[in-house]
Structure 1
């Protein structure tokens, strides 16, 4: 039952937002009493924390599996973006912004963990891209990986990027193309253009 509550809560948080979902909503959605939820979770904060960490590990493991395939580094970034967006339900409810506003402690812990995972993944991606001649060889790898992380997290601030102007799926594509065009070689540009063209078909 504990796992079931966690799965349903995660789903609801992603679709409706961390703030909007109450314990009553969750109980009603599952057809159980609030007492049953409290038997497993002390309060909503604990539920939010466990649900964000569960999602974080699912996404991290998925990213590891994609990275292990050692695909073309440009293709790899598109595959990771697709996988993450699928698990975050296209971020319709701006979960990161709500987490930051209402659960700052959980948000900061999560951000640190995300940075550690992405740092390893992006540094490896950039190094392989340089070796394969699709990323410029004069890149500062640590700078590129950090600026990428900074961009990925900043575009989720809907005060800067209002959803009406920038739906999250479109925004992710714009950002990834922007990032890659700054680091690719002419050889890499051909790969990037062919991926963009095939995504538009």
Structure 2
């Protein structure tokens, strides 16, 4: 029962952090919002940092679960990358950038965890898919996939917020400009219509 309560609290608190950032939400606010005593809250989470860390883990684990479904699909590796970014852009569009900025400024250990997941995503998912595309001759053989990934896919969340693209473009337009057109730039001539 306590695990169920903790999971529900974590889910709802994550939603609050994503909407309002972490700085402005206190443990007192969380206890009051969910009708808990502070003692109960501190029994579930040692402190706000521990709560944030588990919230970031939950955020990424939910995303990685969706990504794993895509990885198991029958699509070609480039289509899988696009499908992953459809989900990523949808998720990013629901997060207020204040969340990430507050992690950077006030919760460095939690931000390091967030960055660890981003690196894992690149190293264990995106780069292997790009390598598979290269092995299957879907992309130009001379492409440095590490460099391509770094300049095109790294920190896409921050780029989308920095340029305020969600205010002016649809998620499909964002996908086209940030992902699909860049991938079309490296596909072989024979594979151009696969995307």
Class of the TM-score when normalised by the shorter of the 2 chains: 0.7 to 0.9
Q: How many pairs were matched up? A: 189
Deviation of residue 147 (structure 1)? 3.0
2:128 aligned with 1:113, yes or no? no
Deviation of residue 48 (structure 1)? 0.6
Deviation of residue 189 (structure 1)? 2.9
**Normalization by structure 2: what TM-score?**
0.79
Matching residue of 2:191:
188
2:180 aligned with 1:177, yes or no? yes
Matching residue of 1:12:
16
Residue 140 of structure 2 aligns to a residue whose secondary structure is: coil
Provide closer, same or farther for how the CA distance between residues 164 and 121 of structure 1 changes in structure 2, counting only shifts above 3 A: closer
Matching residue of 2:143:
139
In 1, Cα distance between equivalents of 2:157 and 2:165: 15
2:25 paired residue among 21, 25, 39: 21
2:52 aligned with 1:48, yes or no? yes
Matching residue of 1:78:
82
Provide closer, same or farther for how the CA distance between residues 14 and 154 of structure 1 changes in structure 2, counting only shifts above 3 A: closer
Matching residue of 1:197:
none
Of 141-150 and 2-11, more deviation after overlay is shown by 141-150
Provide closer, same or farther for how the CA distance between residues 176 and 89 of structure 1 changes in structure 2, counting only shifts above 3 A: closer
**Normalization by structure 1: what TM-score?**
0.77
Matching residue of 1:102:
106
Flag structure 2 segments of 5+ consecutive residues without an equivalent: none
Q: Deviations along 1:10-42, whole A, 9 cap, x unmatched?
A: 121122222233323323332323332122112
Root-mean-square deviation (CA, aligned residues, Å) is: 2.7
Deviation of residue 164 (structure 1)? 7.1
* Superposed structure 1 runs of 4+ greater than 6 Å apart: none
In 1, Cα distance between equivalents of 2:145 and 2:69: 22
Deviation of residue 127 (structure 1)? 2.1
In 2, Cα distance between equivalents of 1:47 and 1:167: 34
1:36 paired residue among 40, 48, 52: 40
Q: Tell whether the 8 Å contact from 2:152 to 2:178 is kept in structure 1 after alignment.
A: no
Q: Deviations along 1:70-127, whole A, 9 cap, x unmatched?
A: 41223212221223344x3624311323322221222123212321232121122112
